[in-house]
Amino acid sequence: MTLKTLTQLSSLLGSGEISSLELTQDYLHRISQSDLNAFITVDEAMALQQARAADAQRAAGDNGILLGVPVAHKDIFCIEGMKTTCGSKMLDSFVAPYTATVIANMNQHGLVTLGKTNMDEFAMGSSNESSYYGNVANPWGDSSKKLVPGGSSGGSAAAVAAQIAPAATGTDTGGSIRQPAAFCNLTGVKPTYGRCSRYGMVAFASSLDQAGPIAHSAEDAALMLNSMTGFDHRDSTSLELPAEDFSAELDTPLQGLKIGLPDEFFGDGLDPEIATLVEAAVKQYEAMGAVIKRVSLPNSELALPSYYVIAPAEASSNLSRFDGVRYGHRSEQHDDLVEMYMRTRAEGFGAEVKRRIMIGTYALSSGYYDAYYAQAQKLRRIIANDFNRVFEECDVIMGPTTPSTAFAEGGKSDDPVAMYLNDIYTIPANLAGLPAASIPVGFNSDNLPAGLHLMCPHLQEARLLNIAHQFQQETDWHLKPAPAAWVSGDE
């Protein structure tokens, strides 16, 4: 199948060359023929109903840019009447009674929901190997050597890379949009914290979680972001800002753009091939008129230990609601209330979730709160100050998205620390609440994709997407399709 971007599909729908119903049926068929395990739930009846409604709106004169375009949603967003599992046995039977604001906003733009994508359990993971519903395969691997798609939004990334969805939503707590995007040759954007409502998005770490788009191009990501954002009074962290068109600056030339390259992002642990690809991208930006400046983020080494205190602590608090009393899994074997709590949580949560709950509970416990959680929050402020200082002299910070390309299934599952290191370059943006993106930057000697990481000052998503889009006008890495063997009938 020839790669089709969201922008191209919008044009086809607008011209009448294809209907939303035909397009949706095509993607539903491709999903049924795929063996990536990218989806947990597909509601064909809902998708076709939404597609018919979109076609009727177009027939009545509505020319909305995304009207009738099918997309997939990470199974962390509640959709009324549809199962929402967060990749966990704990919520295997949970059917959401309401719809997340991000999804409701997209519904208002007329997007069609294909289904809910697989993910690391409760968004805790960097490989999509912790899901109760099984591993997701990276379309850039093959059946003889299965590769992880990254996590936690691995199902969304795999679906878009395999072209069984043209775009998808994800969430990013420490890199869970950008790392899968890098592993799957996609464009992934984490907006400024507060840009997208968290209402109806099941919480992992409330001060870090943020929704965002996964697509083939920056142009597509801008369209997605236009449909996702907006103030929500039901989310106390939602930013009350005027509506913004994130596509407005895409064509702005980059002459004079000041790019900061942190020394700390190019040290030990970075795959030399990825370093070479990133350096080539920086030279491309120079040819486009950008100015390169070496900078320092001296406290960036504190990001990983800070994150792995703050995120588990907040997860421990957020996941305490899953006790078997009100909804979700409940153990059938118990003699009293306390035993029911214990058995329910032991049965319902997987190993990685249990690990983080225990770490977080310890960090918040009496006598340790000041030593761990409070200290980590102070380090978070120091890290944010580093960014503020660098942004006084630079417009954007660039570096690698990940220290390596996609690794084999099971390659790091027995070593949590090695797994956590996959997010070493992405976590700082979450701690500081900055908008950040990963864009395709080329392939290594094994033909596996790598990502270029971009970070801009707060609320500068339009500028971030402009910088990404201009690079994609000069390169075609983002248009390289993944091998077709994962979808039956593809050549």
The pLDDT value given to residue 1? 59
Which residue in 155, 152, 123, 121 sits closest to 136, CA to CA? 155
The answer to whether the bond into 152 is cis (omega within 30° of 0) is: yes
Secondary structure class of 47 (helix, strand, coil): helix
**Residue carrying the six token digits 């990218």:** 38
Helix (H) or strand (E) holding 10: helix 6-15
Residue 491 pLDDT: 56
- Structural domain spans, the chain: 6-257+405-486
Residue 404 catalytic?
Answer: no
Residues 123-147: tens digit of each pLDDT: 999 999 999 999 999 999 987 789 9
Cα(488)–Cα(411) distance, integer angstroms = 27
Residues 157-160: contacts with CB under 8 Å, at least 24 apart: 157/181, 157/183, 157/184, 157/186, 157/188, 157/214, 158/36, 158/38, 158/117, 158/118, 158/128, 158/184, 159/31, 159/36, 159/38, 159/39, 159/72, 159/117, 160/72, 160/184, 160/186, 160/214, 160/215, 160/216
Q: Is the pTM of this model over 0.95?
A: yes
Q: Which residues contact 431 (CB under 8 A, 6 or more apart)?
A: 208, 303, 306, 307, 310, 380, 383, 384
Query: Residue 350 phi/psi, 5° resolution?
Result: -85, 180
- 152 is an active site residue: yes
Q: What is the pLDDT of residues 90-107, one digit of tens each?
A: 999 999 999 999 999 999
Question: How far is the C-alpha of 435 from the C-alpha of 188, rounded, in Å?
Answer: 11
Q: Measuring CA to CA, which residue among 128, 131, 122, 125 is closest to residue 141?
A: 128
The catalytically annotated residue of 127, 156, 176, 227 is 176
Given 152, 217, 238, 404, the catalytic residue: 152
Q: Using CA atoms, how far apart are residues 195 and 211, in angstroms rounded to an integer?
A: 8
Contact criterion met (CB below 8 Å) for 324 and 331: yes
> Residue 386 has what pLDDT?
97
| Spans in the chain with pLDDT lower than 50 | none
Q: In residues, how long is the chain?
A: 491
Annotate 233-286 with three-state secondary structure.
Answer: CCCCCCCCCCCCCCCCCCCCCCCCCEEEEEHHHHCCCCCHHHHHHHHHHHHHHH
* Closest C-alpha among 400, 248, 418, 384 to residue 310: 384
End-to-end CA distance of the chain: 7
Q: What are phi and psi of 142, to 5 degrees?
A: -145, 175
Residues 239, 199, 68: CA angle, nearest 5 degrees? 95
By three-state DSSP, how is residue 61 classified? Answer: coil
C-alpha–C-alpha distance, residues 365 and 345, integer Å:
19
Q: What is the CATH number of domain 6-257+405-486?
A: 3.90.1300.10
83 flagged as catalytic: no
Token look-up 């700390």 returns 264
Please report, for residues 172, 217, 390, the alpha-carbon distance to residue 148 in angstroms, rounded to integers and kept in the order given: 17, 22, 34
- Kindly list the strands in the beta sheet with 436-443, ordered across the sheet, starting from the edge strand earlier in the chain: 39-42, 112-117, 70-74, 168-171, 211-215, 187-190, 436-443, 449-455, 396-400, 258-262, 291-295
Contact by Cβ (8 Å): 174, 168: no
pLDDT score of 367: 86
Active-site residue, from 20, 74, 126, 306: 74
Q: In whole angstroms, what is the distance from residue 420 CA to residue 364 CA?
A: 21
